[in-house]
Amino acid sequence: MTADGDCINPELTTLSRTPLVAGVPLNLLNTEVMSNDRFYVRNHFPIPKVDAANWSLPVSGEVDTPLNISYQDLKELPRHEVLALLECAGNSRAGIQPPIEGLLWDHGGVGTAGWAGVSLCTVLERAGLRSTAKEVLIEGCDEGEERGASGKLNYAMSLPMEKALHPDTLLAYEMNGEPLPGEHGFPLRAVVPGWFGMTSVKWIKSIQVLDHAFVGYHQTSYYVFVPEGATGDRPNERVTSLRVKSLISHPVRGQYVTAGRVTIEGMAWSGNGPIDKVEISTDDGKSWQEAQISPSPSPYAWQPWKYTWEANSPGNYLVRSRATDLKGDTQPVQTLWNFRGFANNAIHVVPVIVQPMP
């Protein structure tokens, strides 16, 4: 049997082969839409092989009419498209101090893609929500064991009704105009724009409307902010909305550039919608200059930005980027430490060497 990682694009950096976890090198984070073969992959279990012809979507729980929708029928429901970024909650945690638990993501656990499918609310409306509906639980077909959990479990996450009923919360069957690739959730996945990637459940097996708050390993034990010194006697806050963030895709760490004009570029995004400004500092954060930002193509997508640095004096520099969104949220110098280093949006710092002109 081949490992899940055997089929992966060699341009990606593989953090784990089974389950497959692979990130994008920073220098490739430079395009408005990330192609499917360059989109990061984050799996907790081996990739399930699902045959669309034998697959259907059961919708049950607090609904008047339980449904079981075939792949074909799903495609005949009103189509909805969303350009949205997904970022793994653990992205950018490799450098956090004190060290955190978990796979050491550099910065490549992020990408924007065009998703198409059916709004989750369309399916829920057809099933007829009861007034007792409190959360919508989406379960994946993938299963396995997790350290810290007993026995086999499926990957599953719930959404509060407000998020589940938002028209842009999608049951997606297409990614960038193609059927979902196997590693990204074929035949059907959730896409929850504005939230970290963990609720965008892949390989959907079932949807259940609950009259209570869901308790499950990934939702209530894993993707939560565990503060320093936590003893487990009280629930930890769940990871949800994306934070304002920017990354520098050029130059990269340790790059030699020639004195003169140097283009600094990268991407910026926020869970609060479009970015207001991206500022660059090349003097240890003493002064900041505004970069040019490309217009936002969707409230959920990242925005490319660019700044021309007059790097006239050779030497060693730290280049920093800091994004601020329209709500006024801005990137901190340091992230608020939590045990798994989730939601790190600290200012990105890149060491660069400016060498004299030949």
Q: Which residues bind ligand MTE (CB under 6 A)?
A: 39-44, 86, 88, 140, 142, 155, 184, 197-198, 200-203
Q: Name the residue whose CB lies closest to ligand MTE.
A: 140
Identity of the residue, 88 or 133, whose beta carbon is nearer to ligand MTE in the bound complex? 88
Strands 56-61 and 41-42: what pairing? unpaired
Q: Which residue has the tokens 């059916």?
A: 118
Cβ 137 vs Cβ 190: under 8 Å: no
Identity of the residue, 42 or 320, whose beta carbon is nearer to ligand MTE in the bound complex? 42
Q: How far is the CB of 79 from ligand MTE (least distance, A)?
A: 20
Identity of the residue, 140 or 266, whose beta carbon is nearer to ligand MTE in the bound complex? 140
Identity of the residue, 198 or 247, whose beta carbon is nearer to ligand MTE in the bound complex? 198
Other CB atoms within 10 Å distance of the CB of residue 310 = 10
Strands 255-258 and 348-355: what pairing? parallel
- Cα separation, 357 vs 336, in Å, equals 41
Instruction: Classify residue 74 as left (phi > 0), alpha (psi -120 to 50) or beta.
Output: alpha
Per-residue DSSP letter, 1: -
Nearest to 251 by CA among 205, 313, 190, 318: 318
Q: How far is the CB of 94 from ligand MTE (least distance, A)?
A: 16
Identity of the residue, 202 or 245, whose beta carbon is nearer to ligand MTE in the bound complex? 202
Q: How far is the CB of 265 from ligand MTE (least distance, A)?
A: 23
Q: How far is the CB of 40 from ligand MTE (least distance, A)?
A: 5
Q: How far is the CB of 12 from ligand MTE (least distance, A)?
A: 11
State the greatest distance between any 2 C-alpha atoms of the chain, in Å, as a whole number.
75
Cβ 323 vs Cβ 331: under 8 Å: yes
Work out the angle at residue 215's Cα, subtended by the Cα atoms of residues 225 and 243, and round it to the nearest 5 degrees. 30
Identity of the residue, 203 or 309, whose beta carbon is nearer to ligand MTE in the bound complex? 203
- Cα separation, 278 vs 33, in Å, equals 20
CA distances from 172 to 10, 185, 268, 313, 357 (A): 26, 9, 24, 50, 51
Q: How far is the CB of 312 from ligand MTE (least distance, A)?
A: 41
Identity of the residue, 93 or 202, whose beta carbon is nearer to ligand MTE in the bound complex? 202
Q: How far is the CB of 333 from ligand MTE (least distance, A)?
A: 25
